[in-house]
Amino acid sequence: MIFAASLAAAVVIVVLSATALALWYERKLAARMQTRIGPQFVGPIGLFQPVADLLKLVQKEEIVPMGADRVLFALAPPLTVIFALAAAAFVPLWPGVAVVRSDVGVLLVIGFGGLAMVPVWMAGWASFNKYALLGAMRAVAQSISYGVPLVLAAMVPVILAGTMDLDGITQFQATHHWFGLWPIIPGLPAFILFLLAMLAESNRIPFDIPEAESELVAGVTTEYTGMQFGFVYLAEYVHTVVGAAIGSVMFLGGWDGPFAPGLHWLLLKTLCLFTFIYWIRWTLVRLRADQLMTLCWKWLVPAGLGLVFLSAAWNQTGWSR
C-alpha cells in the first residue's frame, strides 16, 4: 500500500518535472535548429525558464468571457492535464513494476488518450467564441479519426506478444525481439504508424490544424488567460511525453536494454522518441485539414488493418519462436 502510493506520487512528480524540463529542452532544440541560442538568462543555460514561465502565468488575471459556460470553462483546462497524466500510471517502469499493472493495459492507455479529448471539447464549447468552437471541433474530429489507426497500430504488439499487459509486452520483447525492429515488416511500419497517429492525437505539427493560428487565432485557448491557458499548454506536453514513453514500451522494449535493464533505458528511449517528435515538429509544415482527413481514412486505416493481418500471419508461420 505505502509502496504503491509513494510510487504513484513519484511518477506524477517525475512526469510533471520531466514535462517542465521538456519545455526547456524543446525551446533549446528549436533554437539550435534555427541557428539561435534559445533561453539562456534564467539559471544556468536557461534551465529555469519553465519555472519563470510558470511564475508569470500564475500571476496573470483570470478573465471569463461574456456568455461563457462558467463551470465548464473553469473545469476544462485542469482536466486536460489530469487525463493526459493518467496514462502514465500504466507504464511499466522496471521489470514487473508499474503504478497499475493491468491485464488490459493497452486498452486503458488508449482509453485515457481518447478521454483527453473531452476537456478540449469542453473548453471550446464553454468559451462562447466561434474560433474556439471551430478549433475544438477540428481537434475532436482529428483526434477521433486518428484514434482508429492508433488502435490498429497498438494491436500489432498485442498480437505479437499475445497479451494486453504492457509489462507482459515488454517482457516478451526482452526475451524475443523489439517489435519496432523485428519482425521488420509488421513491426517497423506499425511503429511509424503509431508515432504518426500519436502526433495527430496530441495535435502536434504536422497535425496541429486545431490551432492553426493563421485561421483560428489560437483554437480552444483563444479565451483562456494565465494558468488556465498554461494548463492546456502543459497537457499537450504531458501528452507528448507520456505518448513517447508508451511508444517506447510497446515498440522499443521499454525497460529492456543491454547490461542492466531498468528505468534508465525507458527514460533514454523516451527522450530519443521525444527528440524525434520535436525534430519533426520543427522540420515539417502543417498539413491542410482535408489532406489530414484523407490521409487518415484512405491510407492509414487500411494500412493499419493490413499490418494487423500481417502480424497475425507472422505468428502463424513459426518463425516467431
Partner 1 sequence: MDGSWFGFLAFLLVSVISVGGLIVAAKVLGVRARGKSLLKERTYECGEEAEGPAWIRFHPRYYLVALFFVLFDVEAAFFFPWAVAEKTLGWNGLASIALFTGVLLLGWWYAVKKDALRWQ
Within 47-106, which residues bind partner 1 (CB under 8 A)?
54, 57-67, 78, 81-82, 85-86, 89, 98-102
Q: Which of residues 113-132 bind partner 1 (CB under 8 A)?
A: 125, 127-132
Q: Which stretch binds partner 1 (CB under 8 A): 3-11, 44-52, 173-181, 198-206?
A: 3-11
Residue of 13, 37, 185, 284 that binds partner 1 (CB under 8 A)? 13
Distance CA 195, CA 178 (A): 16
Please name the residue that has the C-alpha cell 500510471: 89
Site string (31-50) toward partner 1, x via CB under 8 A: --------------------
Residue of 133, 249, 266, 273 that binds partner 1 (CB under 8 A)? 133
* Nearest CB to partner 1, comparing residues 97 and 272: 97
* Nearest CB to partner 1, comparing residues 36 and 70: 70
Residue-wise burial string across 39-61, b where 16 or more C-beta atoms lie within 10 A, e elsewhere: beeeeeebbbbbeebbeebeeee
Q: Which of residues 237-266 bind partner 1 (CB under 8 A)?
A: none
The residue among 61, 55, 69 whose CA lies nearest residue 133 is 69
* Nearest CB to partner 1, comparing residues 5 and 184: 5
Question: Taking a C-beta distance cutoff of 8 angstroms, is the pair 81, 54 a contact?
Answer: no
User: What is the chain's alpha carbon radius of gyration, rounded to the nearest angstrom?
Assistant: 20
Please work out the total of residues on this chain that contact partner 1, with binding judged by CB under 8 A: 80
* Nearest CB to partner 1, comparing residues 29 and 249: 249
Backbone φ, ψ for residue 94 (5° rounding): -145, 170
Q: Kindly list the distances between the CA atom of residue 3 and the CA atoms of 9, 92, 171, in Å, as whole numbers in the listed order.
A: 10, 15, 22
Residue of 34, 44, 290, 318 that binds partner 1 (CB under 8 A)? 290
Question: Taking a C-beta distance cutoff of 8 angstroms, is the pair 128, 66 a contact?
Answer: yes
Q: Is 315 in the site for partner 1 (CB under 8 A)?
A: yes
Q: Which of residues 139-178 bind partner 1 (CB under 8 A)?
A: 141, 144-145, 147-148, 151-152, 155, 158-159, 162-164
Question: Taking a C-beta distance cutoff of 8 angstroms, is the pair 172, 161 a contact?
Answer: yes
Residue of 107, 118, 263, 303 that binds partner 1 (CB under 8 A)? 107
Quickly list H helices, 34-48: none
